[in-house]
Amino acid sequence: MRPSNRELNEMRPVSIETGFTKHAEGSCLIKMGETHVLCTASLEPRVPSFIKGSGLGWVTAEYGMLPRATNTRMRREAAAGKQGGRTVEIQRLIGRALRAGVDRVALGERQITIDCDVLQADGGTRCAAITGGWVALRLAVNKLMKAGEVKIDPLMDPVSAISCGIYAGQPVLDLDYPEDSEAGVDGNFIMTGSGKLIEVQMSAEGSVFSRDQMNQLMDLAEKGTQELAELQKAACA
């Protein structure tokens, strides 16, 4: 039995509220159970110097958690004067994942920055950030296309992410914090709406796992990301 009483292959309730902020070209508040992440997309008419003049666009991401997103207050990273290793790892992951679903030639020489701010954390914040980040990106690109600044849609397929793991000896979909903190195996799966893999991170946290168990988690992840892709498309319709 899962702590949340969900079925093994059941995600937490997911909602995506678009247009959550006034100023960003694209924004949404994504809720995956008790994990809530604000995602915004900002357009800039320039690209990093290392691709300047290439004709290619760029998508990058930043990630952060509010001090009281967790059960005890965390010190702001700005107050510490630098980002922690976890933050850097996660924001690089978000950027890589979203770029994989972008035709950077069609985007043209411009940058879109995705900011993901965790308001409340209960496991799976990076997955929620990627899933909501794509929605914010989609909305920003829609504005570019409506204005005629981009002629060909650069977003080839929705990109979403979900966690899966082995909890109490059983493969489960979409780990919340109680499961994540005790899972024997933990994995994050990033996939396109058509079922193609972008990135898989899996590790034995408390026990090793077999190829069969890995395949079971892959099947759960495919189910979860397909459901998320439909929610993403509905939110942007």
Q: Indicate the average pLDDT of the chain.
A: 96
206: pLDDT strictly greater than 90: no
CA atoms of 116 and 21, how far apart (whole Å): 13
pLDDT at residue 79 in the model: 83
**pLDDT grade, residue 80 (50/70/90)?**
confident
182: pLDDT strictly greater than 90: yes
- Following DSSP, what letter does each residue of 70-100 receive, concatenated? SSSPPPPHHHHTS--HHHHHHHHHHHHHHHT
15: pLDDT strictly greater than 90: yes
CB neighbour list of residue 30: distance below 8 Å, 6 or more residues apart: 14, 15, 16, 17, 36, 37, 39, 128, 131, 132, 135
pLDDT at residue 1 in the model: 83
81: pLDDT strictly greater than 90: no
CB neighbour list of residue 127: distance below 8 Å, 6 or more residues apart: 32, 160, 161, 162, 163, 188
**pLDDT grade, residue 86 (50/70/90)?**
very high
7: pLDDT strictly greater than 90: yes
68: pLDDT strictly greater than 90: yes
pTM given for the model: 0.97
Taking alpha carbons only, the member of 181, 140, 146, 174 closest to residue 57 is: 140
pLDDT at residue 78 in the model: 84
Domains delineated in the chain:
14-156+228-236 (3.30.230.70)
pLDDT > 70 fraction of the chain, expressed in percent and rounded: 100
pLDDT in tens, 21-32: 999 999 999 999
12: tokens are 């937490």
